[in-house]
Structure 1
Amino acid sequence: MSAADKSRGNEQQLRRQVREIEQAAERATDPQERQRLQEKARRLREQAGGREERSPRDLDPMM
């Protein structure tokens, strides 16, 4: 397994986690719990977005 394959798998897993948390937030009846889950999903989404925005130059300073 290459590093790119592993990274892609990690990103897919992160996106799956975000979807699950968002669904849990939709089902939550307690407003505070819903807010907490929405914030957690937002943070994970931002983390996933940061990974996608990196270019190869960011990863390899010799480029």
Structure 2
Amino acid sequence: MMSAGESRGRVRQLREKAQELNTAAERSADPEERRRLQEKARRLQEQSEKEDKIDDRGMDPM
């Protein structure tokens, strides 16, 4: 079971990684690589939002 602080930390890490992937996608010259990075970033962002909502309700997402 994660504490609220651990859960918030995980959400922050997911969002930071999503931003890093978006930045890498912007810099990529390969359209396929750009699309792949953007898709991965989108999934991480969705996961962070889901975990943030679960944490706001006071439930353990694990």
Q: Provide TM-score, normalisation by structure 2.
A: 0.82
Give yes or no for the alignment of 1:50 onto 2:32. Answer: no
Structure showing greater radius of gyration is 1
Q: Which amino acid aligns with 2:3?
A: A
Identity of aligned residues (%): 49
What is the rounded CA distance, in whole Å, between the counterparts of 1:53 and 1:10 in structure 2?
13
Other-structure match for 2:13: 13
Whether the aligned pair in 1 keeps the contact of 2:8 and 2:52 (CA below 8 Å) is no
Q: Return 25-34 or 3-12, whichever deviates more.
A: 3-12
Other-structure match for 1:22: 22
Shift of 1:3: 0.6
Tell which has more relative contact order, 1 or 2 (C-alpha 8 A, sep 6+): 2
Q: Which amino acid aligns with 1:6?
A: E
Gaps of 5+ in 1: none
Shift of 1:53: 1.7
Number of residue pairs aligned between Structure 1 and Structure 2: 57
Other-structure match for 2:32: 32
Superposed structure 1 runs of 4+ greater than 2 Å apart? none
